[in-house]
A and B are shown apart, each in its own frame.
Chain A
Amino acid sequence: MRRGLSILLLIVVALGISLSLGEIPFGRPKTKVGRYYIDEGMKETGAVNIVTSVVVNYRGFDTLGEVTVLFIAAIGLGAVLTGGGEKKRKAEPASLVLYTGCRLLFPLILIFGAYVFVHGHLTPGGGFQGGAIIASGFLLIYLGCRERRISPVASSLAESLGGLVFVVIGLLGIVLGGYFLSNFLPKGTPNALVSAGVIPIIYIAVGFKVGSELASIIDNLIEES
Protein backbone atom coordinates (compact mmCIF):
# COMPACT_ATOMS: atom_id res chain seq x y z
CA MET A 1 0.00 0.00 0.00
CA ARG A 2 2.57 2.46 1.19
CA ARG A 3 5.05 1.19 -1.37
CA GLY A 4 2.56 1.58 -4.22
CA LEU A 5 1.62 5.09 -3.15
CA SER A 6 5.28 6.09 -2.92
CA ILE A 7 6.03 4.76 -6.40
CA LEU A 8 2.98 6.55 -7.80
CA LEU A 9 4.08 9.81 -6.16
CA LEU A 10 7.62 9.43 -7.48
CA ILE A 11 6.35 8.74 -11.02
CA VAL A 12 4.23 11.90 -10.94
CA VAL A 13 7.18 13.95 -9.68
CA ALA A 14 9.48 12.38 -12.28
CA LEU A 15 7.07 13.26 -15.09
CA GLY A 16 6.93 16.87 -13.97
CA ILE A 17 10.67 17.14 -13.64
CA SER A 18 11.37 15.51 -17.01
CA LEU A 19 9.01 17.96 -18.72
CA SER A 20 10.86 20.92 -17.22
CA LEU A 21 14.35 19.43 -17.58
CA GLY A 22 13.81 18.84 -21.27
CA GLU A 23 14.00 22.60 -21.69
CA ILE A 24 17.46 22.86 -20.08
CA PRO A 25 20.07 22.00 -22.72
CA PHE A 26 22.98 19.86 -21.56
CA GLY A 27 26.58 20.85 -22.25
CA ARG A 28 26.01 24.44 -23.31
CA PRO A 29 26.81 27.61 -21.38
CA LYS A 30 23.73 28.82 -19.54
CA THR A 31 24.40 31.60 -17.07
CA LYS A 32 25.87 35.01 -17.67
CA VAL A 33 27.17 35.08 -14.10
CA GLY A 34 29.55 32.19 -14.66
CA ARG A 35 30.82 33.74 -17.89
CA TYR A 36 31.46 37.03 -16.08
CA TYR A 37 33.43 35.30 -13.32
CA ILE A 38 35.58 33.48 -15.89
CA ASP A 39 36.24 36.63 -17.92
CA GLU A 40 36.84 39.07 -15.08
CA GLY A 41 37.61 36.89 -12.06
CA MET A 42 41.36 36.73 -12.50
CA LYS A 43 41.64 40.48 -12.98
CA GLU A 44 39.35 41.35 -10.09
CA THR A 45 40.54 38.92 -7.42
CA GLY A 46 44.00 37.83 -8.57
CA ALA A 47 43.17 34.16 -8.01
CA VAL A 48 43.96 31.79 -10.89
CA ASN A 49 41.41 29.23 -9.74
CA ILE A 50 38.04 30.79 -10.55
CA VAL A 51 36.14 28.38 -8.30
CA THR A 52 38.21 29.63 -5.36
CA SER A 53 37.59 33.25 -6.26
CA VAL A 54 33.84 32.51 -6.37
CA VAL A 55 33.87 30.65 -3.05
CA VAL A 56 36.02 33.08 -1.07
CA ASN A 57 35.61 36.42 -2.79
CA TYR A 58 32.38 36.78 -4.75
CA ARG A 59 30.36 34.51 -2.45
CA GLY A 60 32.48 34.93 0.68
CA PHE A 61 29.53 35.79 2.89
CA ASP A 62 27.76 32.64 1.75
CA THR A 63 30.88 30.63 2.59
CA LEU A 64 30.94 32.16 6.07
CA GLY A 65 27.35 30.98 6.49
CA GLU A 66 28.23 27.51 5.28
CA VAL A 67 31.16 27.28 7.68
CA THR A 68 28.70 28.29 10.42
CA VAL A 69 26.33 25.48 9.39
CA LEU A 70 29.24 23.04 9.66
CA PHE A 71 30.10 24.48 13.08
CA ILE A 72 26.53 24.10 14.31
CA ALA A 73 26.35 20.51 13.04
CA ALA A 74 29.59 19.65 14.88
CA ILE A 75 28.40 21.37 18.08
CA GLY A 76 25.01 19.66 17.85
CA LEU A 77 26.63 16.27 17.39
CA GLY A 78 28.81 16.88 20.43
CA ALA A 79 25.81 17.99 22.50
CA VAL A 80 23.69 15.01 21.44
CA LEU A 81 26.37 12.42 22.02
CA THR A 82 28.02 13.61 25.23
CA GLY A 83 24.71 13.85 27.09
CA GLY A 84 24.73 10.17 28.03
CA GLY A 85 26.70 8.48 30.77
CA GLU A 86 30.45 8.13 30.53
CA LYS A 87 31.48 4.80 29.12
CA LYS A 88 35.01 3.51 29.17
CA ARG A 89 35.65 0.74 26.69
CA LYS A 90 38.95 -1.01 26.44
CA ALA A 91 39.98 -0.88 22.81
CA GLU A 92 41.85 -3.80 21.38
CA PRO A 93 45.40 -2.64 20.56
CA ALA A 94 46.25 -2.68 16.87
CA SER A 95 48.92 -4.96 15.46
CA LEU A 96 52.47 -3.62 15.06
CA VAL A 97 52.25 -3.38 11.27
CA LEU A 98 49.03 -1.35 11.37
CA TYR A 99 50.31 0.84 14.21
CA THR A 100 53.61 1.66 12.48
CA GLY A 101 51.93 2.20 9.13
CA CYS A 102 49.48 4.68 10.62
CA ARG A 103 52.23 6.54 12.48
CA LEU A 104 54.18 6.75 9.21
CA LEU A 105 51.28 7.90 7.04
CA PHE A 106 49.73 10.41 9.45
CA PRO A 107 52.26 13.28 9.01
CA LEU A 108 52.30 12.75 5.26
CA ILE A 109 48.51 13.08 5.10
CA LEU A 110 48.68 16.24 7.23
CA ILE A 111 51.31 17.75 4.91
CA PHE A 112 49.23 16.85 1.84
CA GLY A 113 46.13 18.44 3.36
CA ALA A 114 48.09 21.60 4.21
CA TYR A 115 49.45 21.67 0.65
CA VAL A 116 45.94 21.42 -0.76
CA PHE A 117 44.57 24.32 1.27
CA VAL A 118 47.62 26.55 0.96
CA HIS A 119 47.51 26.22 -2.83
CA GLY A 120 43.74 26.67 -2.98
CA HIS A 121 43.96 29.74 -5.21
CA LEU A 122 46.33 28.09 -7.71
CA THR A 123 45.32 24.44 -8.09
CA PRO A 124 42.10 22.42 -7.72
CA GLY A 125 41.72 22.43 -3.97
CA GLY A 126 41.10 24.71 -1.06
CA GLY A 127 40.10 24.92 2.56
CA PHE A 128 37.19 22.51 2.44
CA GLN A 129 39.06 19.80 0.54
CA GLY A 130 42.27 20.21 2.55
CA GLY A 131 40.30 20.12 5.79
CA ALA A 132 38.58 16.90 4.72
CA ILE A 133 41.99 15.35 3.89
CA ILE A 134 43.35 16.33 7.32
CA ALA A 135 40.27 14.86 9.01
CA SER A 136 40.84 11.61 7.08
CA GLY A 137 44.36 11.53 8.59
CA PHE A 138 42.83 11.77 12.07
CA LEU A 139 40.37 9.01 11.15
CA LEU A 140 43.33 6.81 10.20
CA ILE A 141 44.97 7.48 13.57
CA TYR A 142 41.73 6.64 15.39
CA LEU A 143 41.36 3.36 13.51
CA GLY A 144 45.02 2.34 13.64
CA CYS A 145 46.33 3.58 17.01
CA ARG A 146 43.28 3.20 19.19
CA GLU A 147 44.62 4.68 22.41
CA ARG A 148 45.64 8.02 20.93
CA ARG A 149 43.15 10.88 21.09
CA ILE A 150 43.32 14.44 19.85
CA SER A 151 43.26 16.93 22.69
CA PRO A 152 39.88 18.70 22.80
CA VAL A 153 41.59 21.95 23.77
CA ALA A 154 43.82 22.02 20.67
CA SER A 155 40.90 21.02 18.44
CA SER A 156 38.57 23.74 19.72
CA LEU A 157 41.44 26.25 19.65
CA ALA A 158 42.11 25.58 15.96
CA GLU A 159 38.38 25.72 15.24
CA SER A 160 37.84 29.02 17.07
CA LEU A 161 40.97 30.61 15.61
CA GLY A 162 39.89 29.63 12.08
CA GLY A 163 36.45 31.18 12.54
CA LEU A 164 37.91 34.25 14.24
CA VAL A 165 40.42 34.90 11.43
CA PHE A 166 37.63 34.61 8.84
CA VAL A 167 35.38 37.12 10.64
CA VAL A 168 38.21 39.53 11.54
CA ILE A 169 39.37 39.64 7.91
CA GLY A 170 35.80 40.29 6.87
CA LEU A 171 35.53 43.18 9.34
CA LEU A 172 38.94 44.54 8.29
CA GLY A 173 37.51 44.54 4.79
CA ILE A 174 34.80 46.96 5.95
CA VAL A 175 37.40 49.29 7.46
CA LEU A 176 39.97 49.16 4.66
CA GLY A 177 38.00 48.25 1.56
CA GLY A 178 34.53 49.60 2.20
CA TYR A 179 32.47 46.38 2.34
CA PHE A 180 32.44 43.08 4.21
CA LEU A 181 35.13 40.60 3.07
CA SER A 182 36.58 42.98 0.49
CA ASN A 183 39.96 42.00 -0.92
CA PHE A 184 42.07 44.78 0.64
CA LEU A 185 45.54 43.24 0.23
CA PRO A 186 47.54 43.68 -3.02
CA LYS A 187 46.67 41.12 -5.69
CA GLY A 188 50.25 40.23 -6.67
CA THR A 189 51.19 38.42 -9.85
CA PRO A 190 48.91 35.56 -10.94
CA ASN A 191 50.19 32.00 -10.42
CA ALA A 192 52.48 33.05 -7.55
CA LEU A 193 52.00 31.45 -4.16
CA VAL A 194 51.66 34.83 -2.42
CA SER A 195 48.98 36.41 -4.55
CA ALA A 196 45.24 37.05 -4.64
CA GLY A 197 45.17 39.20 -1.50
CA VAL A 198 43.16 37.78 1.38
CA ILE A 199 42.04 34.60 -0.43
CA PRO A 200 44.90 32.33 0.79
CA ILE A 201 44.57 33.63 4.37
CA ILE A 202 40.83 32.94 4.44
CA TYR A 203 41.28 29.51 2.86
CA ILE A 204 43.96 28.55 5.40
CA ALA A 205 41.58 29.59 8.19
CA VAL A 206 38.76 27.58 6.58
CA GLY A 207 41.11 24.60 6.25
CA PHE A 208 41.95 24.65 9.96
CA LYS A 209 38.30 25.08 10.88
CA VAL A 210 36.95 22.33 8.63
CA GLY A 211 39.76 19.94 9.58
CA SER A 212 39.30 20.37 13.32
CA GLU A 213 35.51 20.22 13.06
CA LEU A 214 35.45 17.00 11.05
CA ALA A 215 38.12 15.54 13.36
CA SER A 216 35.99 16.38 16.40
CA ILE A 217 32.96 14.77 14.70
CA ILE A 218 35.02 11.60 14.15
CA ASP A 219 36.26 11.80 17.76
CA ASN A 220 32.72 12.04 19.13
CA LEU A 221 31.40 9.20 16.99
CA ILE A 222 34.31 6.89 17.86
CA GLU A 223 34.03 7.76 21.55
CA GLU A 224 30.39 6.65 21.39
CA SER A 225 30.84 3.38 19.50
Chain B
Amino acid sequence: MKQVLINYILHLADNAMILAQQNSAWCGHGPILEQDIAITNISLDILGQARNFYQYAAEIINGLKSSSTGGGLEGASEDSLAFFRDNREFKNCLLVEQENGDWGKTILRQFIFSNYQYLLYEKLQHSKDEQLAAIATKALKEVAYHLRWSSEWVIRLGDGTDESHQRMLNAVNELWQYVDELFMNADYETELLKENISVDVSSLKNKWLEKTESVFNEATLQIPQNVFAKIGGKQGIHTEKLGYILAEMQFMQRAYPGLVW
Protein backbone atom coordinates (compact mmCIF):
# COMPACT_ATOMS: atom_id res chain seq x y z
CA MET B 1 0.00 0.00 0.00
CA LYS B 2 2.71 2.47 1.01
CA GLN B 3 4.77 1.61 -2.06
CA VAL B 4 1.80 2.40 -4.29
CA LEU B 5 1.42 5.77 -2.61
CA ILE B 6 5.14 6.47 -3.00
CA ASN B 7 4.89 5.65 -6.72
CA TYR B 8 1.99 8.02 -7.12
CA ILE B 9 3.74 10.87 -5.32
CA LEU B 10 6.88 10.29 -7.37
CA HIS B 11 4.81 10.41 -10.55
CA LEU B 12 3.41 13.80 -9.54
CA ALA B 13 6.87 14.99 -8.51
CA ASP B 14 8.64 13.76 -11.66
CA ASN B 15 6.11 15.45 -13.94
CA ALA B 16 6.84 18.74 -12.23
CA MET B 17 10.59 18.19 -11.91
CA ILE B 18 11.23 17.33 -15.56
CA LEU B 19 9.07 20.15 -16.94
CA ALA B 20 10.74 22.63 -14.57
CA GLN B 21 14.16 21.43 -15.72
CA GLN B 22 13.15 21.77 -19.39
CA ASN B 23 11.64 25.22 -19.01
CA SER B 24 14.61 26.48 -17.04
CA ALA B 25 16.80 25.95 -20.12
CA TRP B 26 15.09 29.07 -21.54
CA CYS B 27 16.78 31.21 -18.89
CA GLY B 28 18.70 33.86 -20.83
CA HIS B 29 17.34 32.60 -24.17
CA GLY B 30 13.70 33.77 -24.15
CA PRO B 31 12.46 35.70 -27.19
CA ILE B 32 12.15 38.89 -25.14
CA LEU B 33 13.14 39.70 -21.59
CA GLU B 34 9.62 39.71 -20.12
CA GLN B 35 8.82 36.28 -21.53
CA ASP B 36 12.20 34.91 -20.53
CA ILE B 37 11.24 35.95 -16.99
CA ALA B 38 7.76 34.47 -17.37
CA ILE B 39 8.86 31.00 -18.46
CA THR B 40 11.52 30.81 -15.75
CA ASN B 41 9.00 32.01 -13.15
CA ILE B 42 6.73 29.18 -14.22
CA SER B 43 9.69 26.86 -13.98
CA LEU B 44 10.28 28.01 -10.41
CA ASP B 45 6.65 27.46 -9.43
CA ILE B 46 6.71 23.93 -10.82
CA LEU B 47 10.05 23.19 -9.18
CA GLY B 48 8.42 24.22 -5.90
CA GLN B 49 5.69 21.66 -6.49
CA ALA B 50 8.29 19.00 -7.22
CA ARG B 51 10.12 19.81 -3.99
CA ASN B 52 6.93 19.51 -1.95
CA PHE B 53 6.11 16.14 -3.50
CA TYR B 54 9.66 14.78 -3.16
CA GLN B 55 9.85 15.92 0.47
CA TYR B 56 6.61 14.14 1.20
CA ALA B 57 7.73 10.96 -0.59
CA ALA B 58 11.03 11.03 1.31
CA GLU B 59 9.18 11.34 4.60
CA ILE B 60 7.14 8.21 3.83
CA ILE B 61 10.16 6.27 2.54
CA ASN B 62 12.16 7.10 5.66
CA GLY B 63 9.23 6.11 7.85
CA LEU B 64 9.13 2.70 6.17
CA LYS B 65 12.85 2.17 6.51
CA SER B 66 13.07 3.03 10.16
CA SER B 67 10.29 0.60 10.99
CA SER B 68 11.68 -2.31 8.97
CA THR B 69 15.44 -1.95 9.32
CA GLY B 70 15.83 0.10 12.46
CA GLY B 71 16.78 3.19 10.47
CA GLY B 72 20.23 1.92 9.59
CA LEU B 73 20.01 2.97 5.95
CA GLU B 74 20.84 6.41 4.76
CA GLY B 75 17.71 8.51 4.61
CA ALA B 76 15.92 9.54 1.45
CA SER B 77 15.59 13.26 0.75
CA GLU B 78 14.17 15.51 -1.92
CA ASP B 79 17.67 15.68 -3.40
CA SER B 80 18.34 11.95 -3.41
CA LEU B 81 15.00 11.35 -5.14
CA ALA B 82 15.71 13.92 -7.82
CA PHE B 83 19.38 13.18 -8.38
CA PHE B 84 20.00 9.52 -7.61
CA ARG B 85 17.21 7.70 -9.39
CA ASP B 86 17.71 6.28 -12.86
CA ASN B 87 15.76 6.68 -16.07
CA ARG B 88 13.50 3.67 -15.48
CA GLU B 89 12.57 4.87 -12.02
CA PHE B 90 11.19 8.18 -13.27
CA LYS B 91 7.42 8.13 -13.69
CA ASN B 92 6.79 11.37 -15.56
CA CYS B 93 4.57 11.38 -18.62
CA LEU B 94 6.33 11.46 -21.98
CA LEU B 95 5.01 14.94 -22.82
CA VAL B 96 7.16 16.82 -20.31
CA GLU B 97 10.42 15.22 -21.44
CA GLN B 98 10.00 16.28 -25.07
CA GLU B 99 12.54 18.76 -26.37
CA ASN B 100 11.92 22.48 -25.94
CA GLY B 101 12.15 23.02 -29.70
CA ASP B 102 11.21 26.56 -30.66
CA TRP B 103 9.20 28.97 -28.51
CA GLY B 104 5.97 27.71 -30.09
CA LYS B 105 6.62 24.11 -29.09
CA THR B 106 7.55 25.10 -25.54
CA ILE B 107 4.38 27.21 -25.30
CA LEU B 108 2.17 24.42 -26.61
CA ARG B 109 3.73 21.85 -24.26
CA GLN B 110 3.09 24.24 -21.36
CA PHE B 111 -0.50 24.82 -22.44
CA ILE B 112 -1.24 21.10 -22.82
CA PHE B 113 0.30 20.40 -19.44
CA SER B 114 -1.10 23.36 -17.47
CA ASN B 115 -4.59 22.70 -18.81
CA TYR B 116 -4.23 19.10 -17.56
CA GLN B 117 -2.57 20.03 -14.28
CA TYR B 118 -5.21 22.61 -13.44
CA LEU B 119 -7.98 20.02 -13.75
CA LEU B 120 -5.89 17.44 -11.90
CA TYR B 121 -5.13 19.66 -8.91
CA GLU B 122 -8.69 20.91 -8.79
CA LYS B 123 -9.66 17.34 -7.90
CA LEU B 124 -6.54 16.44 -5.93
CA GLN B 125 -7.51 19.24 -3.53
CA HIS B 126 -10.15 16.85 -2.23
CA SER B 127 -7.84 13.87 -1.89
CA LYS B 128 -8.19 11.80 1.28
CA ASP B 129 -4.44 12.25 1.66
CA GLU B 130 -4.16 15.56 3.48
CA GLN B 131 -0.65 16.44 2.39
CA LEU B 132 -1.41 15.82 -1.31
CA ALA B 133 -4.57 17.90 -0.92
CA ALA B 134 -2.61 20.75 0.68
CA ILE B 135 0.07 20.76 -2.02
CA ALA B 136 -2.58 20.74 -4.75
CA THR B 137 -4.60 23.57 -3.17
CA LYS B 138 -1.51 25.69 -2.86
CA ALA B 139 -0.26 25.00 -6.39
CA LEU B 140 -3.63 25.39 -8.08
CA LYS B 141 -3.57 29.18 -7.82
CA GLU B 142 -0.18 29.29 -9.51
CA VAL B 143 -1.21 26.85 -12.23
CA ALA B 144 -4.16 29.15 -13.02
CA TYR B 145 -1.61 31.80 -14.00
CA HIS B 146 0.41 29.29 -16.06
CA LEU B 147 -2.74 28.31 -17.92
CA ARG B 148 -3.78 31.88 -18.58
CA TRP B 149 -0.34 32.83 -19.78
CA SER B 150 0.14 29.82 -22.06
CA SER B 151 -3.42 30.13 -23.44
CA GLU B 152 -2.72 33.70 -24.46
CA TRP B 153 0.50 32.71 -26.16
CA VAL B 154 -1.09 29.81 -28.06
CA ILE B 155 -3.64 32.33 -29.40
CA ARG B 156 -1.02 34.97 -30.15
CA LEU B 157 1.16 32.57 -32.12
CA GLY B 158 -1.58 30.49 -33.74
CA ASP B 159 -3.45 33.58 -34.91
CA GLY B 160 -0.26 35.53 -35.57
CA THR B 161 1.87 35.63 -38.70
CA ASP B 162 2.13 32.89 -41.34
CA GLU B 163 5.44 31.90 -39.80
CA SER B 164 4.14 31.67 -36.22
CA HIS B 165 1.00 29.83 -37.39
CA GLN B 166 3.10 27.28 -39.27
CA ARG B 167 5.32 26.75 -36.25
CA MET B 168 2.29 26.10 -34.06
CA LEU B 169 1.04 23.55 -36.59
CA ASN B 170 4.42 21.82 -36.40
CA ALA B 171 4.25 21.84 -32.61
CA VAL B 172 0.76 20.33 -32.62
CA ASN B 173 1.98 17.59 -34.97
CA GLU B 174 4.96 16.79 -32.81
CA LEU B 175 3.27 16.86 -29.42
CA TRP B 176 -0.19 15.44 -29.95
CA GLN B 177 0.99 11.83 -29.76
CA TYR B 178 1.83 12.43 -26.08
CA VAL B 179 -1.56 13.86 -25.07
CA ASP B 180 -3.51 10.66 -24.51
CA GLU B 181 -1.08 9.31 -21.94
CA LEU B 182 -2.09 12.12 -19.59
CA PHE B 183 -5.56 10.65 -19.36
CA MET B 184 -4.67 6.98 -18.90
CA ASN B 185 -4.57 5.78 -15.31
CA ALA B 186 -1.40 3.95 -14.31
CA ASP B 187 -1.68 1.00 -11.92
CA TYR B 188 -0.84 3.17 -8.90
CA GLU B 189 -3.56 5.66 -9.83
CA THR B 190 -6.17 2.94 -10.24
CA GLU B 191 -5.14 1.34 -6.96
CA LEU B 192 -5.32 4.59 -4.98
CA LEU B 193 -8.68 5.51 -6.47
CA LYS B 194 -10.23 2.94 -4.16
CA GLU B 195 -8.98 4.97 -1.20
CA ASN B 196 -10.02 8.32 -2.72
CA ILE B 197 -6.39 9.40 -2.70
CA SER B 198 -5.64 9.69 -6.42
CA VAL B 199 -7.54 11.41 -9.21
CA ASP B 200 -9.17 9.43 -12.02
CA VAL B 201 -7.32 11.15 -14.87
CA SER B 202 -9.57 9.63 -17.52
CA SER B 203 -12.40 11.75 -16.11
CA LEU B 204 -10.50 14.96 -16.89
CA LYS B 205 -10.36 14.53 -20.63
CA ASN B 206 -13.69 16.07 -21.65
CA LYS B 207 -13.11 19.27 -19.73
CA TRP B 208 -9.56 19.39 -21.05
CA LEU B 209 -10.82 19.09 -24.63
CA GLU B 210 -13.41 21.80 -24.07
CA LYS B 211 -10.81 24.27 -22.90
CA THR B 212 -8.37 23.26 -25.64
CA GLU B 213 -11.07 23.68 -28.26
CA SER B 214 -12.00 27.18 -27.13
CA VAL B 215 -8.35 28.29 -27.13
CA PHE B 216 -7.61 26.56 -30.45
CA ASN B 217 -10.65 28.18 -32.06
CA GLU B 218 -9.29 31.59 -31.26
CA ALA B 219 -5.83 30.51 -32.30
CA THR B 220 -7.15 29.22 -35.67
CA LEU B 221 -5.70 25.79 -34.87
CA GLN B 222 -7.37 22.42 -35.05
CA ILE B 223 -7.29 19.48 -32.69
CA PRO B 224 -5.85 16.53 -34.63
CA GLN B 225 -7.95 13.39 -34.83
CA ASN B 226 -6.90 9.72 -34.66
CA VAL B 227 -3.35 10.29 -33.55
CA PHE B 228 -1.47 7.17 -32.50
CA ALA B 229 -0.74 7.60 -28.80
CA LYS B 230 2.70 6.96 -27.38
CA ILE B 231 2.63 5.85 -23.78
CA GLY B 232 4.89 4.32 -21.14
CA GLY B 233 6.45 7.20 -19.20
CA LYS B 234 4.19 6.75 -16.21
CA GLN B 235 5.47 3.17 -15.95
CA GLY B 236 9.10 4.17 -16.39
CA ILE B 237 9.44 3.42 -20.12
CA HIS B 238 10.67 6.68 -21.58
CA THR B 239 11.67 8.21 -24.88
CA GLU B 240 15.40 8.64 -25.37
CA LYS B 241 15.09 12.31 -24.42
CA LEU B 242 14.83 11.66 -20.70
CA GLY B 243 18.32 10.17 -20.63
CA TYR B 244 19.83 13.41 -21.89
CA ILE B 245 17.83 15.46 -19.40
CA LEU B 246 18.92 13.32 -16.46
CA ALA B 247 22.54 13.25 -17.63
CA GLU B 248 22.63 17.03 -17.43
CA MET B 249 20.43 17.42 -14.37
CA GLN B 250 22.14 14.75 -12.26
CA PHE B 251 25.75 15.17 -13.36
CA MET B 252 27.01 17.26 -10.45
CA GLN B 253 25.49 15.07 -7.75
CA ARG B 254 26.61 11.88 -9.49
CA ALA B 255 30.17 13.18 -9.89
CA TYR B 256 30.38 14.85 -6.48
CA PRO B 257 27.77 13.21 -4.23
CA GLY B 258 26.49 15.51 -1.50
CA LEU B 259 27.89 18.64 -3.12
CA VAL B 260 26.26 21.82 -1.79
CA TRP B 261 26.37 25.40 -3.06
A and B part of one assembly: no
- A residues sitting closer than 8 Å to B (CB atoms) are none
